[in-house]
Copies of this chain bind each other. A is one copy, B any other.
Amino acid sequence: MTKNEADDKIFKALSSPMRRDLLDALRDNPQTTGELCAHFADLNRCTVMQHLGVLEAAGLVVARRIGRQRWNYLNAIPIKRIHDRWIGAYAAEAVNLLDRMKTDLEGEPAETGRPTVS
């Protein structure tokens, strides 16, 4: 798989709101597939597992089987590499400052919190 193909998979995986919600749910702690299905109770188990499969194929989720349970972990490295590709260490401080200024001027909270999952 070339770097472009790998990146295609990452951005296509992230282009679904449902899959972004799944990553939000895994951000603070790994979860079993059963826990994720309970968390997204309005979706059937098959749909949740399909989305997890896309995230896993893109390298955004890593799964580990322990006993009868499948634990799903967020893999943050592809996300970090997106950041480093277009921002990098040199510019990160300037972008942070700019983002804080934008937020202050617009009077909006920074969009860094976990969005509400319906």
- Which listed residue, B3, B11, B83, touches A115 by the CB 8 Å rule? B3
A83 to B92, CA, bound (A): 11
A86 to B81, CA, bound (A): 12
Q: Tell me which residues across on chain B come within 8 A of A95, comparing CB atoms.
A: 76-77, 80
Give the contacts of A58-82 with B (CB-CB under 8 A).
74, 76-77, 79-82
> Across the interface, do A11 and B8 meet the contact criterion of CB distance under 8 Å?
no
Closest to A87 in B: B76
Known A23-B86, A95-B80: A15·B15 in contact at CB below 8 Å: yes
| Count of chain A residues with a beta carbon within 8 Å of a chain B beta carbon | 38
State the Cβ distance, A72 to closest chain B Cβ, in Å.
Answer: 14
A83 to B110, CA, bound (A): 13
Closest to A8 in B: B15
A17 within 8 A of B: yes
Residues of A within 8 A of B (CB): 3-4, 7-8, 11-12, 14-15, 17, 20, 23-24, 27, 74, 76-77, 79-88, 91-92, 95-96, 98-99, 102, 110-112, 114-115
